[in-house]
Structure 1
């Protein structure tokens, strides 16, 4: 536990030293919401609330892509990253500390999005629904963060840029982030429930009310967490073996 706290403090301090990177990440989804969500569904209270939640999820996915994929890849090719890997603790405290930072960034990312939703749309939600939605968003950090951690340690650092730029958009699109929850039909509707992005999305939508999650999506949510956790652990160990053999 002590190692996790120390590594978490280390991650937060690193984020504070390069704030503009995270400021850009936090506000990009807000710009997208102003340009697309507000004019399209701003007058529908229920749809606007769910769309705001979807943009919060997209913000989480974007944060995880940059924090894990890009940051890990950069650390693998820099001397400082190699030094950090020699510190005691192993992969578990390191990975958990990155998840803690993602949870903190998720809270900050939601503030401007919720503010836009409250001011520029007719979105409505109960205080209890908002708290449950925030809890569901924090749960979404787990599979997204583990997935990008695995990618960061598995992929050639030179190729990580395109992957972390394209993957969030593709996963968000097929997960239904950019459409109303019940609008997906045919091929999209069948594929979405098996993707790692759909389970977290349905949890958030359910928390806000007016949506019933698919049992398949919930089962796959748990399955993906297990798969990504194992992949991230093995990728970390394999990269460690290559670097320090």
Structure 2
């Protein structure tokens, strides 16, 4: 089984390298946003620049995990090769684990441009331990968005998954305080912000990188979202399997 997981991981990594559009979008858009908005307005304020860097890291990682995963899962379901693989004795686990590992590797690569912009163009500061903790929080924080992507990809066609994932992605990014600091959001948005999962991940990342005190409501909400997303993803996968293999 481990050999199969490694083989599938290598396959998906090669696919990302051959068609790197999704990876480039996840990496370049947050970096460009950093240059356009963070550097001129908060680049010389260490704490603000550090928090903005964390927000842009989450933005890129979330795009890769939610949008890309939902589309690739939906596309896999439409390929004749995928049903055949799911009937083999090894089952779907090696392929799915390989895709998740490849996506996590892509997530770590996508934050490099953001970190370079922060290092050379802003006053953001962080210790090596804080950076490692931040990357750990980022990897753990994309889990609920991967589960959402799995749910969307398991219930919708590839074309519908593209639209649905973006409809889910952008409002959560905005309301969660990734594009603007929570204090700058309108009052009614500030009231809703702690209840979206993006805010919970951001609170954790800001805590380990900038030393802020995380919002307890946002953390509890993140945990609830993760549980609900896991249940929904499992239901959607079993529903799809029952429809096509029973």
Confirm or deny a common fold (TM above 0.5).
Answer: yes
Question: Any residues of structure 2 matched to 1:184-195 within 5 Å, and which?
Answer: 184=185, 186-195=187-196
Cα deviation digits, residues 185-222 of structure 1 (max 9, x gap): 63222211111211111110001133111112112222
Alignment of 1:143-162 (within 5 A): 143-162=144-163
Change (3 A) 1:218 1:90: farther
Q: Is the 8 A contact 1:99 1:141 kept in 2?
A: no
Rate the CA distance shift 1:28–1:80 in 2: closer, same or farther, 3 A.
farther
> Which residue is equivalent to 1:86?
87
Shift of residue 6 of structure 1?
Answer: 4.6
C-alpha spacing 1:154/1:97, structure 2 compared with 1 (3 Å): same
| Alpha-carbon distance change, 241 to 183 in structure 1, aligned in 2, over 3 angstroms | same
- Alignment partner, residue 48 of structure 2: 47
CA distance in 1, matches of 2:208, 2:242: 43
The match for 2:134 is 133
CA contact (8 A) 2:85 2:91 kept: no
The aligned residue for residue 66 of structure 1 is 67
TM (normalized to structure 1)? 0.89
Give yes or no for the alignment of 1:110 onto 2:121: no
Q: Deviations over 1:78-119 (max 9, x none)?
A: 223333333444455544433322221121111110000111
More displaced 10-residue stretch of structure 1: 17-26 or 210-219 = 17-26
Q: Which position in structure 2 is the counterpart of 1:98?
A: 99
Question: Does 2:25 align with 1:24?
Answer: yes
Gaps of 5+ in 1: none
Which segments of 5 or more consecutive residues in structure 2 lack a partner in the other structure?
none
Distance 1:230 1:236 in 2: 10
Task: Report the aligned-residue RMSD.
Answer: 2.1
Q: Within 5 Å, give how 1:233-244 maps onto structure 2.
A: 233-244=234-245
Q: TM-score, normalised by structure 2?
A: 0.89
- The alignment of Structure 1 onto Structure 2 pairs a total of residues equal to 245
Secondary structure of the 1:193 match is helix
Instruction: State the alpha-carbon separation in 2 of the partners of residues 79 and 212 from structure 1.
Output: 50
Which whole-Å CA distance do the structure 2 matches of 1:5 and 1:229 have between them? 24
- Could you tell me which residue of structure 1 aligns to residue 218 of structure 2? 217
